[in-house]
Structure 1
Amino acid sequence: MSPDGSTRTMNVPTKFAVFAPLFPPATLGGGPIRTLKALVDSVPTDTQTLVFTSDRDMGQSNPLPVRSNEWLAIDGVQVYYGTASSLRSYLRGLGEVRKERPEVTYYNSFFNPRFSLFPQLLGRIGFWRGAQILLAPRGEFGRGALAIRPLKKRIAVAVYKMLGLHRGIAWHASSVNEAEDIRAVFGETTRVLVREDETSLPIVAEKPPAARVDGPLRIVFVSRLNPMKGLDLLLRSLTLTQATITLDVFGNSEDLKYVQDCQELIDELPVNVRCTLHGSIAPESVRGIFAEGDVFVFPTAGENFGHVIAEALSVSCPVMCSDVTPWSDVLRQAGCEVLGSRDPQEWSIAIESFAALSPHEVRERRRAAGAAFDCWSQVDKGEHVFALLARSAFV
C-alpha cells in the first residue's frame, strides 16, 4: 500500500553496496569505523551487503593486513579493499562492485572524493544501473564541521547541487539535529531517514570499582586529534586550574599542525597538571582506558552520534561534554556536566568542581553514568536504516 492509499508493486532493495574510506581492520578513523562495522553486522537477514573500501588506514602508506583488490569474506560480509591511490586499481574495484548489481549505494561520507563524490557522479551517468542512493554525511554538515576549510566545502556543495547530484537521494541522519543540519544545506523538502547509529557495545554497563584509588583527578581524552574534537580547549582550560590533575590523551594524530599546537599548550601547563600523549590505541582497548579514568572531558565542536561517549558510559565513566551532541539529555540524566560555552574559563570551573568531589561522590557519579547507559541501551532504536529505506514510504 502506498502512502496515498493506492496499491502498487514495490521493488524492495535487498543488495546494498557500502562505500567507505575506512573499514576494519583500519582503526585510525576512530568511532565512525566501529559504528559502520556495527551497521554492516546488523543488517536485516534478507539483505546482502557489500563493502568497497581502502586497503590503507587513515594517513598510512603501508597497506592493511588484508589481500588487496579482490573480494574477501569478512564476518559474513563481502569486502573489497581497493588500492585507491592507484587509479587503475581503484577503477577496477568500482567495476567489481558494478558487476554485483547493487540496488542501493550507501555512502559513509559526503565530502570524500573517492568513496562518495566520484561514485555518485558515476551513478548520475548510469554506471550503477539506477541504484538508489542512501548517503550518511556523518556530521559533515554540522556548524563546527563546516567552519573547518569552509570555502572548499562551500564550493563542493555548490558544484554538487549544480550537477543535480542531490536530486532523488535519501540521507541517513544519526539524530534529529543532524537531519536539521542536512536540510539547512539542501532544503526543507530533503528526504532524511533518522536512525541512531548502531553499536556493538554491551546492553548493560560495566559496574564502577568499589573504591577510588587516592590521587589526582584522572581525566581521559580519547578521540582523533583534530580541531573538531577540542583538545586545545581542554588544555587551555587546564592552564587555569588549581587542582592536581593527570590528563591522558589517546588518539590518532590526524592533523599534525594541530597536534604541534597542542604540544605547545602542553608545554605551558602549570606544575599541578601532568599531561601524556599516548598516541592511537586499538579499538578493543578504548573501554578499558575509560574504566581507569575518573572522567572523560570532551569539548567537541559537534558530533553526529559520538560513539566514544557511548563507550565511556558503558564502563560507568562520567562524561563532561559540550552541548552539540545527541547525548546531552542522557548525560544530564547521569548528572554529567553539559556545557554550552567554548570559553576555557567555564570548562576550568567545571573541572575544578569535579576535582573537588569526594571519593564517594566520584563513585556515585560513575554509578549514575552506568545507569544512564543502561537506560539508553534498552530503548528500542527502531528498524535498521536499510529496512527503513525498503519501506514504501521511502522508496
Structure 2
Amino acid sequence: MKKKILVLVDWFVPGYKAGGPIQSCVNFVFAMKEDYSVYVLTTDTDHGETSPYEGIESGRWTNDLHPDINVYYLPKATLTAARVQEQMDAVQADYVYLNHLFSPLFVVYPLWLKFRGLLKSEIVVCPRGALYESALSVKRWKKTPFLFLFRRMKLHKRVLFHATNKREKDAILQHFPGSRVLIADNLPNMRQPSFGNIAKEPGSLKIIFIARIVAIKNLLFLLNAMEQVTNATLELTIIGPVEEKAYWSECERKMAAMPANTTVRYLGPKRNDELMPILQQHHLFALPTTGENFGHSIFEAFLAGRPVLISDQTPWLGLPDRKAGWDLPLATTGPFTRALAAAADWDQAGFDEWARGAWQHAEKFIKNPELHDQYLKLFA
C-alpha cells in the first residue's frame, strides 16, 4: 500500500492569484501521485477574494483534478482550526507537507499539534522563500516573534525542511541552526511547447512583466529603467493582480509620464493556462524582483523560448553565458537600461539566437533525471 502525503496549502487550483506557490504545489502533487497517495487540504477561495471558486464542490474530498489526487476545499467563510484538524485526522497521513511558513491554520497550527504530540505524521516544511530577507522585510513586526517562538519551542528539531536551492538552505540554517534540511529543486511546469519565434526588427521591443503587483516584484524599477531607453520603441505588457494599491498608484503615475517612445498596457490577472500564448507574442520577459525562491513566471518564459531580464536575486544565474537573458544587480537601473537597449537592437537572427537559448535552458532543466529522485528522498 502506498504511503500517504497530505499537502496543506492556503490556495490551490483553480486559484491563481497567489502566484508561484500554487503552481509549485500543483506540480508537486502530479509528480508524486505515482509513488504516494496524495491528498491536498486547501480553501475554496482564491487569494484576495471573498467569493468561492465557481464549479468547485467544497466540504468533501474529490478527485476531479485527477483520479489519483484527492482534494478537499474547506469553506473559507467557516474556516476554523477544528475543521483543519478534522480532515487531517481523517486522512491519517504518513507525511504532512507544509508550504510557506507564516500561514496560521495551514502551517502554524499543524506545528502546534506536532509540538503537543497530537500529530503523529512526519512533517516536511517548505518555506518557499519566506526566510529570505526580501520576504522577511514585509511585516517584520509579525514574523520576528514567530521565528523566535519557533526556535524557543525547538520546532525545527521536529521537522524536515525542504529547501529548493542552496541559498534557501543557507537561510533556513541561519534562522534555525542544526535543522535537518534537504535540497530538492522546485518542480516546474514540464509541458514545453515546440520552439517558435515572432518577427523582430531592430529598434523595437515587446516586453512582458508577469507578477503580483507588490513592491518586491519591482515594477517601478523596471519602468524607471525603460524610461532611460531613448533609441528604440518599447511596448510593455503588465499582467498580475494588484495587491499593494499605494504601490500600484505610484506605478500608474510613472506610466502616465513615460516618454513618447514607450507604451504600457495593463491586462490584469490571468489564469496560468492563459499565459503561454501571451508570452509568445513578446520578445523579452522582465522581472527585476528583489527575491524569488524559484520564479515560475521566469521559467514559463524559458519554456516559451523567450529570453529574460531579471535581477540576480533568483536561482536563475549565469544567463548571458547561455544566451538565455540577463541576471543583473539592483544597485542602479543602468545595467537594466543597457540590457533593454541591447535587446531592442536585436535583428531577427539575434532574437532567434537568444530565444532558442532560453528554450534550450528550460529543456535541459525539465529533462534532469535527478529532479524526481530528490523528492523521493524527502519522503523516504
| Short-chain TM bin | over 0.9
The one-letter code sitting in structure 1 at the alignment partner of 2:13 is P
SS at match of 2:117: coil
C-alpha distance in structure 1 between counterparts of 2:375 and 2:86, whole Å:
23
* Pair 59,44 (structure 1): closer, same or farther in 2 beyond 3 Å: closer
Match of 1:177 in 2: 167
Question: 1:95 aligned to 2:86?
Answer: yes
Picking from 191, 208, 213, the partner of 1:220 is: 208
Unaligned runs of 5+ in 1: 1-11
Query: For the aligned residues, what is the CA RMSD?
Result: 2.1
The one-letter code sitting in structure 2 at the alignment partner of 1:81 is Y
Shift of 1:34: 1.5
C-alpha distance in structure 2 between counterparts of 1:214 and 1:345, whole Å:
21
CA offsets 1:113-169 (integer angstroms, 9 cap, x no match): 1211122112221332x2111001111111211222223221221122223322221
* Pair 223,84 (structure 1): closer, same or farther in 2 beyond 3 Å: same
Shift of 1:272: 1.3
Question: 1:229 aligned to 2:221?
Answer: no
Which of 114-123 and 324-333 deviates more? 324-333
Match of 1:51 in 2: 40
Give the number of the structure with larger relative contact order, counting CA–CA contacts within 8 Å between residues 6 or more apart.
Answer: 1
* Pair 273,72 (structure 1): closer, same or farther in 2 beyond 3 Å: same
Is the 1:230–1:301 Cα contact (8 Å) retained in structure 2? Answer: yes
CA offsets 1:78-124 (integer angstroms, 9 cap, x no match): 11111244245x52242122122112111011011121112211222
Match of 2:58 in 1: 68
Picking from 144, 156, 165, the partner of 1:154 is: 144
Picking from 176, 187, 192, the partner of 1:186 is: 176
C-alpha distance in structure 2 between counterparts of 1:287 and 1:169, whole Å:
37
C-alpha distance in structure 2 between counterparts of 1:81 and 1:18, whole Å:
12
Shift of 1:357: 2.2
Match of 1:293 in 2: 282
Match of 2:236 in 1: 247
SS at match of 1:157: helix
- Structure 1-normalised TM-score? 0.89
Is the 2:184–2:375 Cα contact (8 Å) retained in structure 1? Answer: no
Unaligned runs of 5+ in 2: none
C-alpha distance in structure 1 between counterparts of 2:304 and 2:37, whole Å:
33
The one-letter code sitting in structure 1 at the alignment partner of 2:242 is S
Question: 1:124 aligned to 2:115?
Answer: yes
CA offsets 1:308-329 (integer angstroms, 9 cap, x no match): 1111011110111111211113
* Pair 331,173 (structure 1): closer, same or farther in 2 beyond 3 Å: farther
Which of 212-221 and 243-252 deviates more? 212-221
* Pair 101,164 (structure 1): closer, same or farther in 2 beyond 3 Å: same
Match of 2:74 in 1: 82
C-alpha distance in structure 2 between counterparts of 1:176 and 1:230, whole Å:
24
Shift of 1:233: 0.8
CA offsets 1:273-324 (integer angstroms, 9 cap, x no match): 1111110011111111111101001101111111111110111101111112
Match of 1:4 in 2: none
The one-letter code sitting in structure 2 at the alignment partner of 1:80 is Y
Shift of 1:47: 1.2
C-alpha distance in structure 2 between counterparts of 1:209 and 1:349, whole Å:
23
SS at match of 1:166: helix
* Pair 87,222 (structure 1): closer, same or farther in 2 beyond 3 Å: closer
C-alpha distance in structure 2 between counterparts of 1:85 and 1:233, whole Å:
38
C-alpha distance in structure 2 between counterparts of 1:109 and 1:135, whole Å:
7
* Pair 384,60 (structure 1): closer, same or farther in 2 beyond 3 Å: farther
- Structure 2-normalised TM-score? 0.93
Is the 1:13–1:103 Cα contact (8 Å) retained in structure 2? Answer: no
Question: 1:104 aligned to 2:104?
Answer: no
Which of 206-215 and 57-66 deviates more? 206-215
After TM superposition, the structure 1 = structure 2 runs for residues 1-395 of structure 1, keeping only pairs within 5 Å, are 14-43=3-32, 45-65=34-54, 66-73=56-63, 74-75=65-66, 76-88=68-80, 91-128=82-119, 130-187=120-177, 189-202=178-191, 206-209=194-197, 211-212=199-200, 216-242=204-230, 243-330=232-319, 332-384=321-373, 386-391=375-380
Which of 320-329 and 341-350 deviates more? 341-350
Shift of 1:341: 2.7
How much identity, in percent, do the aligned residues show?
A: 26
SS at match of 2:304: coil
